Chains A and B, each alone.
Chain A
Amino acid sequence: MKNAITLNNVNVHLGGEWILRNLSFNVAFGEFMGIIGPNGAGKTTLLRVLLGMIQPQDGTVKVGGKNIKSAGSSLIGYVPQSRQIDPETPIQGRDFVSFGLPHKYRPWLTKQDRILVEEVLRLTDSEKYADKPLGKLSGGERQRLFLAQALLRDPRVLLLDEPTSNLDPGAQENLAAVVQRVNQERGISVVFVSHDVNLISKYAHQILYLTREKYVKGTVEDVMQPEVLTKLYGVPVEVMRSGAKFLMSSPNLMEPVTPICVHPHPEVS
């Protein structure tokens, strides 16, 4: 079976330095992959490579079995990292989502378009506030609308670049659960970048830990091992396991070696 994403020995050189070195991994159709790593590790660069916005110096990138040579593949839905919304933005959520409809020139919406918009609003649990202006919504509500907009193109692969940053823990859980629902209901492969390893480990099938020097890839069970994480983070790390759930904490949080933000769990701290 073809993979949704195949990276083979990808090397990316930007701004006078190597950002990605010999990176290889696959993401199967319907798989949920979490990517973690410190700031500047190349996580966003990796997503832009997958989108065709950055061409690697070496290596091959395939999405849905096809080589990615230019941006704009309809196979991919992307929720970018930085999307500052002016609180004065008067556009209502439903209108904002409909911007993502795949047609390019038709100035009006058909009945089919409206059905599609309602469908993605339902899938992302955003119908309740879709009539409110974007500027009046909370960060979590906006992120779900951004996700809904990306889903309008009916992608086979969904790339999310730190969608939970700046969200409170409740909103983070809600958003991750919505992404999981999209992954399960539509069979869309998900690549979810986050700093929160505990959140990722709860939802992802496999994890890619990325730094400029090295990367580790494996199932959640493979990566969520104290010795693996201690080596990656550079500080002693403990992992608690409860059934299929993992919880990472470090007793040495005051001296973080890598800039990863690890939130201590209330039950642990």
Chain B
Amino acid sequence: MFQYDFMQHAFVAGTVVAIMCGVIGVYVIARGVSFIAHMFSEIGFAGASFAMYMGWNPINGLLLFTTTSALAIGQLGTKVFRRDLSINVIISIFLGFGLLFLSLSTKNASNAFSILFGSVLSISTQQVWEVLGLSIGVLILLLIGFKMLTFDSFDPVGAEAAGLPVRVISITFLLILSIAVVGAVQIVGALLVFTLMTTPAAAARHLSQKVSRMILFSVLLAVIGLWLGLVIGYYTNLPVSFFITAIQGIFYFAALGWRNYHERIRIKESLDETSTKRAAS
């Protein structure tokens, strides 16, 4: 399997993107902006189509559209975009534009398919370097901002009270998120960005009560899910994105079950303790 360049590319690029998504996903969920991440991916689809129409590298179109929309959302405030209606309207508009640019461009439909559903097994060496650059850049920015971002994401009122520049943090995070979405689109496609961006982090929330461990679990689940998806996809010759989404889904429900099981045990222990105390008195 690893004798093929395309598998090497898929593993290298996929792993770095999974690590990035595992980390940023914890903050996406804590800040309640998962639908904004989804919106970025749809806007990115229009950007990539536009780039193809203009004869550019699709990643440039993706970056142009997502970062511009991140700045616009940052100016208007994320609260406006948490409303379902705003997001639905924007997603519809940009999907429409994506379709328009695709029909105007001379490229064939396989390009559109790879933007929408990912093309991890067909990424070139140049794309690997692009994805590595984006992902490592995002991880460095997250590391620098870790302390302030964590405070603002999990306790926004406390962060403002402590005098943190909450508006700057919010806009910067949206910009970082828009770049991260571009990386994730390369691997799982615009329609399945949730798979890597939020599902592992959502599962990790059920596994730990510490932010650092939550990030660790989220990264582990994202990476393991991606590796398994690649291996199964390679041997079955079925779409890798499908296996990645299915495995992440299994991880999420397993984590939920684990949390519920432990909750029941805790309640039972508490009841036993109370009845023992009652019997003793």
Contacts and interface: CB of A to CB of B under 8 A. Distances in A.
Interface in A76-130: 78-80, 82-83, 89-92, 95-96, 99-101, 103-107
Nearest to A135: B209
B157 A99 contact: no
A72 B164 CA distance: 7
B155 A90 contact: no
B162 A146 contact: no
B158 A100 contact: yes
B148 interface: yes
Contacts of B9: none
Contact of B157 (A80, A90, A104): A80
A81 to B, nearest CB: 9
A149 interface: yes
Contact of B208 (A71, A89, A90, A99): A90
A263 interface: no
B147 A95 contact: no
Contact of A72 (B163, B208, B214): B163
Chain B: interface size category: 20 to 34
A73 interface: yes
Contacts of A100: 151, 158, 162
A91 B154 contact: yes
Contacts of A101: 147
Interface in B139-196: 143-148, 150-151, 154-155, 157-164
A4 interface: no
A6 B151 CA distance: 30
B258 to A, nearest CB: 13
Contact of A96 (B146, B155, B164): B155
Given A90-B214, A99-B155, A99-B158, A73 B209 contact: no
A77 B209 CA distance: 26
B31 interface: no
Contacts of A90: 205-206, 208-209, 214
B151 to A, nearest CB: 4
Contact of B150 (A92, A99, A150): A99
Contacts of B208: 90
Interface string B192-207: 0000000000000110
B141 to A, nearest CB: 12
A71 B150 CA distance: 20
Contacts, number: 65
Nearest to B214: A90
A21 interface: no
Contacts of A89: 154
Give the dominant DSSP class at B's interface. helix
Contact of B210 (A83, A95, A146): A95
Nearest to A99: B151
B102 to A, nearest CB: 40
A82 B157 contact: yes
Nearest to B156: A83
B54 interface: no
Identify the interface centre among B158, B161, B206, B208: most chain A CB within 10 Å of its CB.
Answer: B161
Given A72-B163, A90-B209, A91-B211, A104 B147 contact: yes
Nearest to A71: B163
A106 B158 CA distance: 19
Given A71-B163, A107-B143, A149 B158 contact: yes
Contacts of B146: 105, 107
A95 B211 contact: yes
A153 B157 CA distance: 16
A80 B214 CA distance: 27
A187 interface: no
A103 B146 CA distance: 11
A194 to B, nearest CB: 18
B209 A146 contact: no
Nearest to A53: B160
Sorted nearest first, the 9 A-B pairs with minimum C-beta distance are A72-B163, A107-B146, A92-B209, A99-B151, A78-B161, A71-B163, A83-B157, A80-B161, A133-B209
Interface of A: 51-52, 71-73, 78-80, 82-83, 89-92, 95-96, 99-101, 103-107, 133, 146, 149-150, 153
19 contacts: A80-B160, A90-B208, A91-B154, A91-B209, A91-B210, A91-B211, A96-B155, A99-B151, A99-B155, A99-B158, A100-B151, A105-B144, A105-B145, A105-B146, A105-B147, A105-B148, A106-B147, A107-B147, A153-B162
Given A80-B157, A95-B210, 7 more contacts: A91-B210, A91-B211, A103-B147, A107-B143, A107-B146, A149-B158, A150-B161
